[in-house]
Structures are given as C-alpha cells and as structure tokens.
C-alpha cells in the first residue's frame, strides 16, 4: 500500500471509518454482554480511529506513513488479542497484546518524530 498516493489516503480514511465503527460496535457489545477486554479493545479502537482519518485527509511524510502502518499492526494485535480472550476464551498467540501495545507506543513516537522531519524539496 503506497500511502503517498491518493488511493493510499483513501485507504487510510477507509481504515479510520472501519476502526471507528468497530469501536462503537464493540462498545455496545461490552455494555450489553460485559467483557472488560472487549471494552478496552473498543476504547483503543475509538481513540486511534481519528489518527487514520487525519493522516488520510492531511497527507503523510515518510515518518507518518511508517507510523500509521505500525499503529495499524499494533492495534490489530492488541485489540485482536483482547477480543480473542473475551469471545474465544484464548489468546491470539503468546505475547500478542504486549507486542501490539509496544507497536502502538512506537507508532505514536514515530508520529512525534515526523514533526521533526524536514520536508523534501
């Protein structure tokens, strides 16, 4: 996926919409059926959805493109592991949530670093 082209930006907006919708749906599921892990996964999805939208709408330098991919992988691993615990009764794989959480931290740090990156002329 080339996030520098218009289609890449559209994919980020699509990802933001899907992540946001999943967050709302999982918030409702957590409220109606319980499940602390589901509620936590929903919160993480909802707090990250605007990032995908913003970068998709504004555009991205190399650091932002790297950051958004790291965030997406981290979000899938972290939220996916929590949801697997509530819905399947088991983990995705050992250390999937900690790896996902670490990737989320790295992704946010890459976003911060992108502010220091000089634009190419």
Tell me what pLDDT residue 3 has.
Answer: 46
Q: What is the pLDDT of residues 37-88, one digit of tens each?
A: 999 999 999 999 999 988 888 877 778 888 999 999 999 999 999 999 999 9
- DSSP, residue by residue, 34-98: --HHHHHHHHHHHHHHHHHHHHHHH---HHHHHHHHHHHHHHHHHHHHHHHHHHTSS-SSTTHHH
Q: Is 5 exposed, middle or buried, given 0-12, 13-18 or 19+ CB atoms closer than 10 A?
A: exposed
Asked whether the predicted pLDDT for residue 29 surpasses 90, the reply is yes
pTM: 0.82
Q: Where are the beta strands (DSSP E) in the chain?
A: none
Asked whether the predicted pLDDT for residue 121 surpasses 70, the reply is no
- Find the mean pLDDT for residues 3-13: 69
Q: What is the pLDDT of residues 81-116, one digit of tens each?
A: 999 999 999 999 999 999 999 999 999 999 888 888
């Amino acid at each position: 996926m080339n996030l520098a082209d218009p289609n890449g930006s559209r994919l980020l907006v699509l990802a933001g919409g899907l992540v946001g919708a999943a967050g709302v749906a999982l918030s409702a599921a957590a409220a109606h059926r319980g499940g602390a892990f589901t509620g936590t996964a929903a919160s993480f999805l909802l707090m990250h959805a605007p990032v995908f939208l913003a970068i998709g709408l504004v555009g991205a330098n190399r650091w932002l493109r790297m950051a958004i991919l790291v965030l997406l992988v981290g979000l899938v691993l972290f939220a996916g592991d929590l949801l697997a615990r509530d819905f399947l009764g088991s983990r995705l794989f050992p250390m999937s949530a900690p790896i996902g959480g670490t990737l989320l931290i790295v992704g946010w740090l890459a976003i911060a670093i992108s502010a220091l990156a000089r634009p190419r002329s």
